[in-house]
Structure 1
Amino acid sequence: YRPAAIANLSALGLRPGDVELGALEQEPCLDGWEYSREVYRSTIVTEWNLVCDNDWKGPLSTSLFFVGVLLGSFVSGQLSDKFGRKNVLFATLAMQTGFSFVQVFSTSWEMFSVFFVLVGMGQISNYVAAFVLGTEILGKSIRVLFCTLGVCIFYAFGYMLLPLFAYFIRDWRMLLLALTLPGLLCIPLWWIIPESPRWLISQGRFQEAEDIIRKAAKINGVTAPDVIFDPTELQDLNSQKQQTYTILDLVKTRNILTITIMSVILWMIISVGYFGLSLDTPNLHGDVYLNCFLSAVIEVPAYIISWLLLRNLPRRYSMAAALFLGGCVLLFIQLVPSHLRAISVLLVMLGKFGITSAFSMVYVYTAELYPTVVRNMGVGASSMASRLGSILSPYFAYLGAYDRFLPYILMGSLTVLSGILTLFLPESYGMPLPDTIEQMLLVKGLEYRPATSSTRESKEEEENPEILKSTAF
């Protein structure tokens, strides 16, 4: 409040209860702000004074990053299906590293936020491209290992390094620079990582695919057959190679439309739970760096458990169990007495354990449900839906300002509902990856309307597809 206005009220002999405080004249902090340096030495908040009237810019920065991730999810699938998994992977890696480096030298919040959007676009694009590339180039048993322990464990290790770096580097510019430079280590991988043979086959580039397979066989000490692709089968595939696929093919048939809708809902809810709990970590009792580290550590056993479940048990039951665990634990937090803070923190970590396990498994599950011709678009569209959830997740955490249990009630309820939804998806455990839309597995309980004589044959082919060639590398 303006000091002169308050002084006049005091001179009149008025007391605080006699004055309507909302009607008093206010003024900005004319002498600037002083910030506590106990936890952070420098942040974007202290750099550009994102407080008082500008306090909305802080959380908006995070939301803008996820907006970039959303945009990247939308275009990465189509780019990868058109230009190849490897090309898009390294192009977007360069994009993420380059714009993140430029972001270090931001001179304003607006400049920082614009580059944050571009960094988000590059980050999710290379993540999805790398995931699909590994899914298509590896065999069935190793594919599960790659998608869980291979990708997710190293993600958790990077997550654990974040609070460690932040603890010793408390200036945001130097911290961002330290997190950006390791991206240069990916440059030599261009000469090591091959293109996806499945994508090359879908493009009619059979000789390149055969060369990659023979090279892999040589490295693994396996004798490759003289004829890898039968000429008659190649002729059948070659007749289809001119067909192009777009995002609209994800809703082409009733079956793939149902799978797409269910995947979108599932990914969005899981993302809300995962990022909501992650962003809520600073609000937990205790040291902020330690809580962030524990939030990262709990992901390691979650990924290991998800790997074991994917190896030995059906997909939908494993995912449903993880979601039920995470959701029920979050709902139980409201019953814990306020003085037992350690129990509340433990339950939050256990809830994140279940949701993180489901997040790990949903990548594998979704990639196995979609066929090769639209797999990257399917995973990309699902990932795009999860980014909508990540954009909303900060506001779930913000609801804790009104009721500290409300975020957990909402996230827990949605997580339990997503676990029920998972039970209706088709089971892909032990099944070969579909290459075409007609080879996709059918949604559990989905009934088709009686087909007319002109369309019955195509419907029968969809329900009983003839697999021309099962490519297992």
Structure 2
Amino acid sequence: MAYEDALLQIGEFGRYQRIKLLLTCLTTFLTGFTLMSGVFLGAVPNFRCLLPDEVKENATYKLSSNVSSEFYPWDKQRGGWSQCKMYDLDGDPSLTDSTVKCDSYVYDESIYKRTITSDFDLVCDNSWLKTTSDSLFMVGVMIGAMIFGASSDKWGRKPSYYAAIVSYLLGSILVLISPEFVSYTIARIVVGAACSGIFMVGYVNVLEIIGTKHRRVIVAGIHVSYSLGYATLIVCAYFIRTWRHLQITMILPAVGFLSYWWFISESIRWLQSKGRRKQAIDLLHAVSTANGADETRDAINGLLGETADSKSDVEKATILDVLTKYPNLRKKSFVLFFCWFINSGTYYGLSWNTSNLVGDSYLNALISALVEIPAHGLVYFTLNRWGRKFVLVSCMLIAGTSLLVATIIPNSMQWLVIVFSMIGKLAITASYESIYLFTAEQYPTVIRNVGVGACSTVARIGGILAPFINYSSTVWPHLPRLIFGSGALIAGLLTIILPETLNMDLPQTMEDGEQFGKKSRKLKQSSDS
């Protein structure tokens, strides 16, 4: 508690912390902008086959019905002229219904001027490549969480944070100049990994300099800045309809973030954990000066006591121990793994699926982004009043029910599909935000970071699969909502078996963690009897 005592004296959320939070929120804003950018970088415009007598550079998308009927067969599934086949004009004239697959396409530029889909012809038999690229981007996010998480613990928050910023800038430049699909996808994997590092390390770094009672503000601030970045992306995409030009808007802020090396300090908690006491005291003194507390180095040294350099014998444990030696912790872990998997997959799936909703794709995407703001407010005002478990369970059940209702709404009421889809998006956003704290409080101190890290890794698998679930809309437009809704409903019901953590003494040892939740149920059973 010595570090917390020092923060009380020098200021738990003073000028120094507010500036650091602002700087961190700016990079979080950019990660929100970038993580959702694939919706517009890879948007799928309307298209048709290039006719034999057309030159691709001069061809226009619109054709009269007479011309279309002469060259294209009718596609009953999509209710229009085929986009991927045309009549075989070079075959046997007696086989009037003979068709061939197209090898070149003309794209409608009225909504999307140029996207990677139109530049790299990721349609028809190649449409799975775009889905795979989106999935590999999330693989990059998962890799980044592992790499930058490990490096921030070993080499420090500051160098890892800065390395993530530099990686983001280099990866974004490579995306911009990518001449073909493979190089584009590899560059996007780098960007995904860097975004993960920027968000995660920046979040931890700012959290470690702020007093406990103010952390709820930090959580809300970070997530709101992420959602604002998402919303700003849509506004930029509306005015910038060429994907390479939109990519430039992600590069320019990163150039400015190169100056962060001189503005972002190392985590004092990390310095303490590494026994670098003098640097920790120097930084605490700088915080004290910035906050107007003017505590001397000697006073700060006294507040820290001997804890900064001492290395206590800490119980060692791994996630394997949780899954093999502790039945109650194992059960809770599997429930949490499933909840994280569903929350991540549903959140990203709904965010990326707005183009499949009827109506203006930009307006639908903007609504999807803006509903996240009240979701953050809901979590902020209810988490300490109603309890972590109640908020999490309620939000997942509401999300699941809303999405399932959307699947049975008649085609004539598509506006209502949008309404229920957005209710589902709001609820899953609140659920995804609240699960972080709920999970951290389920695990004992000795395994807390490892437990949350394992849950986060499982969550990335949900994000990796989300593009393929969205791709299932080619089979039935409502199938993604059916899958996401069913998953959220099941996850919400499963979470009921987990113990509430609000106002509870958190478990410290592995044995505490094993008993956490058991005791409350036993006490309830004995009181009922």
Whether these two folds match at TM > 0.5 is yes
Query: Which of 229, 234, 238 lines up with 1:163 in the alignment?
Result: 234
- Write the mapping of 1:207-356 to structure 2, written as runs, cut at 5 A: 207-222=278-293, 227-231=302-306, 233=307, 237-240=310-313, 254=326, 257-356=330-429
Q: Is 2:147 the counterpart of 1:75?
A: yes
The equivalent residue for 1:107 is 179
Once the two structures are TM-superposed, the CA of residue 177 in structure 1 deviates from its matched residue by 1.1
Counterparts of 1:195 and 1:261, CA distance in 2: 35
The equivalent residue for 1:7 is 93
**Alpha carbons 2:162, 2:260 under 8 Å: kept:** no
CA change 1:9–1:416 in 2 (3 A) is: closer
The equivalent residue for 2:248 is 177
Counterparts of 1:155 and 1:276, CA distance in 2: 17
Q: Is 2:100 the counterpart of 1:26?
A: yes
CA change 1:234–1:294 in 2 (3 A) is: closer
Counterparts of 2:294 and 2:500, CA distance in 1: 33
The equivalent residue for 1:191 is 262
**Alpha carbons 2:113, 2:242 under 8 Å: kept:** yes
- Write the mapping of 1:89-108 to structure 2, written as runs, cut at 5 A: 89-108=161-180
**Alpha carbons 2:444, 2:509 under 8 Å: kept:** yes
Counterparts of 1:335 and 1:180, CA distance in 2: 43
Provide the TM-score with structure 1 as the length reference: 0.81
Stretch moving more, 400-409 or 277-286: 400-409
Query: SS in structure 2 opposite 1:55?
Result: helix
**Alpha carbons 2:135, 2:466 under 8 Å: kept:** no
The equivalent residue for 2:202 is 130
In structure 1, give the amino acid aligned to 2:173: F
**Alpha carbons 1:310, 1:361 under 8 Å: kept:** yes
Once the two structures are TM-superposed, the CA of residue 141 in structure 1 deviates from its matched residue by 2.6
Stretch moving more, 429-438 or 125-134: 429-438
The equivalent residue for 1:464 is none
Query: SS in structure 1 opposite 2:303?
Result: coil
Once the two structures are TM-superposed, the CA of residue 305 in structure 1 deviates from its matched residue by 0.9
**Alpha carbons 2:400, 2:485 under 8 Å: kept:** yes
Query: SS in structure 2 opposite 1:195?
Result: coil
Once the two structures are TM-superposed, the CA of residue 375 in structure 1 deviates from its matched residue by 5.2
Once the two structures are TM-superposed, the CA of residue 68 in structure 1 deviates from its matched residue by 1.0
CA change 1:253–1:209 in 2 (3 A) is: farther
Aligned pair count reads 430
The equivalent residue for 1:456 is none
Counterparts of 1:85 and 1:427, CA distance in 2: 32
Once the two structures are TM-superposed, the CA of residue 222 in structure 1 deviates from its matched residue by 4.0
Stretch moving more, 325-334 or 248-257: 248-257
Stretch moving more, 122-131 or 331-340: 331-340
Counterparts of 1:160 and 1:108, CA distance in 2: 28
Query: Which of 416, 425, 430 lines up with 2:489 in the alignment?
Result: 416
Q: Is 2:229 the counterpart of 1:143?
A: no
Stretch moving more, 131-140 or 283-292: 131-140
Q: Is 2:422 the counterpart of 1:358?
A: no
CA change 1:48–1:290 in 2 (3 A) is: same
CA change 1:405–1:442 in 2 (3 A) is: farther
Counterparts of 1:446 and 1:77, CA distance in 2: 34
Q: Percent identity?
A: 33
In structure 2, give the amino acid aligned to 1:292: A
**Alpha carbons 1:156, 1:296 under 8 Å: kept:** yes
Counterparts of 2:512 and 2:153, CA distance in 1: 19
Provide the TM-score with structure 2 as the length reference: 0.73
CA change 1:25–1:278 in 2 (3 A) is: same
Structure 2: tracts of 5 or more residues without a match: 1-86, 521-529
**Alpha carbons 1:129, 1:376 under 8 Å: kept:** no
CA change 1:234–1:63 in 2 (3 A) is: closer
CA change 1:69–1:282 in 2 (3 A) is: same
Query: SS in structure 1 opposite 2:359?
Result: coil
Deviations 1:125-148 (A, max 9, x none): 221112222333222232111112
Deviations 1:363-385 (A, max 9, x none): 33334555677655444432221
CA change 1:201–1:249 in 2 (3 A) is: farther
Deviations 1:173-197 (A, max 9, x none): 1110112211223233333333333
Query: Which of 110, 125, 142 lines up with 1:38 in the alignment?
Result: 110
The equivalent residue for 1:58 is 130
Query: SS in structure 1 opposite 2:158?
Result: helix
**Alpha carbons 1:275, 1:393 under 8 Å: kept:** yes
Stretch moving more, 425-434 or 167-176: 425-434
In structure 1, give the amino acid aligned to 2:129: K
